[in-house]
Amino acid sequence: MGLDRSAVLAVAVVTVIIASGCLSANPLTTAQEEQIIGEFEAAIDDVNEYSATVRTTLFGNETAELLMRVKTRPKTGEVRQEVLEPDNRAGDVIVTNASQTVSYDASENDIFVTALTRSHGQRVIGNMTRLTETHEIYYNGTASAAGTKAHKMTLVPDDQTVAVDTPKTLWLDKDTLFPVKIVTGASNGNREHSMTVRYTDISINPGLSDETFVFDVPKNATVTTPDDIHHSIQEFDRYDALANATTWSVPEPDIPDRFTFDSGTLFAADEQVTLAYTDGTADLFITQAWDDRTWNLDGTPVDIDGTTTYRTDSGPFTTLTWACGETSYRLLGSVSDETLLGIADSLVCS
Q: Is the pLDDT of residue 307 over 90?
A: no
336: in domain:
yes
Mean pLDDT value of segment 56-85: 85
Residues 190, 123 share a domain: yes
Confidence category of residue 27, pLDDT binned at 50, 70, 90: low
CA–CA gap between residue 223 and residue 216 (Å, rounded): 12
Residues 10, 124 share a domain: yes
Q: Is the pLDDT of residue 209 over 60?
A: yes
pLDDT of residue 44: 67
Residues 271, 159 share a domain: no
What is the strand order of the sheet 78-85 is part of?
135-145, 148-157, 168-173, 179-188, 191-204, 50-59, 64-73, 78-85, 93-96, 100-105, 110-115, 222-224
Residues 159, 304 share a domain: no
CA–CA gap between residue 77 and residue 4 (Å, rounded): 9
211: in domain:
no
What is the extent of the structural domain holding 20? 4-204
Residues 315, 272 share a domain: yes
305 backbone dihedrals φ, ψ, rounded to 5°: 50, 45
123 backbone dihedrals φ, ψ, rounded to 5°: -65, -35
Find which of 37-46, 105-114, 126-135, 144-153 is predicted with most confidence, using mean pLDDT: 105-114
The total domain count for the chain is 2
Tell me what the pLDDT averaged over the chain comes to: 75
Report pLDDT digits (tens) over 80-103: 999 999 898 999 999 988 778 888
Mean pLDDT value of segment 123-134: 44
331: in domain:
yes
Mean pLDDT value of segment 20-24: 37
Mean pLDDT value of segment 184-190: 59
pLDDT of residue 335: 85
311: in domain:
yes
Q: Is the pLDDT of residue 159 over 50?
A: yes
pLDDT of residue 23: 36
Last residue of a domain, one of 162, 188, 204: 204
Residues 182, 54 share a domain: yes
The residue that leads in pLDDT, 285 or 1, is: 285
Residues 259, 161 share a domain: no
Q: Is the pLDDT of residue 106 over 80?
A: yes
210: in domain:
no
pLDDT of residue 164: 47
156: in domain:
yes
212: in domain:
no
Q: Is the pLDDT of residue 289 over 70?
A: yes
The residue that leads in pLDDT, 251 or 295, is: 251
Residues 165, 59 share a domain: yes
According to DSSP, the residues that pair with 191 across neighbouring strands are 188
DSSP codes, 34-56? HHHHHHHHHHHHH-S-EEEEEEE
Residues 146, 44 share a domain: yes
Q: Are 175 and 201 in contact (CB under 8 A)?
A: no
Confidence category of residue 133, pLDDT binned at 50, 70, 90: low
CATH of the domain at 251: 3.30.200.100
Residues 316, 194 share a domain: no
CATH of the domain at 36: 2.50.20.10
- Return the closest-CA partner of residue 286 out of 315, 308, 309, 305: 309
Q: Are 111 and 222 in contact (CB under 8 A)?
A: yes
CA–CA gap between residue 80 and residue 155 (Å, rounded): 28
Residues 293, 160 share a domain: no
Residues 151, 287 share a domain: no
pTM for the complete prediction?
0.60
Last residue of a domain, one of 204, 222, 252: 204
Question: 120-134 vs 4-19: helix axis angle to the nearest 10?
Answer: 40
Q: Is the pLDDT of residue 78 over 90?
A: no
Report pLDDT digits (tens) over 221-254: 988 776 665 556 788 889 999 888 887 888 899 9
111: in domain:
yes
Mean pLDDT value of segment 117-130: 40
